[in-house]
Amino acid sequence: MYELLIETRFCAAHRLRDYEGQCERLHGHNYRVQVLLAGQELNSTGMLLDFKDASAMAEAVVGRLDHQYLNETVPFDSINPTAEQVARHVADGLASKLPRGVEVRAVTCWESDRCAARYLPPARDSGRSPGELAP
Domains in the chain (CATH in brackets) are: 2-119 (3.30.479.10)
Gyration radius from the chain CA atoms = 16
Active-site hit among 7, 67, 115, 132 = 67
> How many residues comprise the chain?
135
The set of residues, in sequence order, having a beta carbon less than 8 Å from that of 116 and lying 6+ positions away, is: 32, 83, 108, 109, 110
| 89 has catalytic annotation | no
Tell me the pLDDT tens digit for each residue of 50-72. Answer: 999 999 999 999 999 999 999 99
Active-site hit among 3, 7, 11, 23 = 23
Q: What is d(CA 65, CA 33) in angstroms, rounded to the nearest whole number?
A: 12
User: So what's the pLDDT on residue 106?
Assistant: 98
| 3 has catalytic annotation | no
Is residue 118 within 8 A of residue 108, CB to CB? The reply is yes
Tell me the pLDDT tens digit for each residue of 83-125. Answer: 999 999 999 999 999 999 999 999 999 999 999 999 999 976 5
* pLDDT, average across residues 78-86: 98
| 67 has catalytic annotation | yes
Q: What is d(CA 61, CA 100) in angstroms, rounded to the nearest whole number?
A: 18
Mean pLDDT of the chain: 92
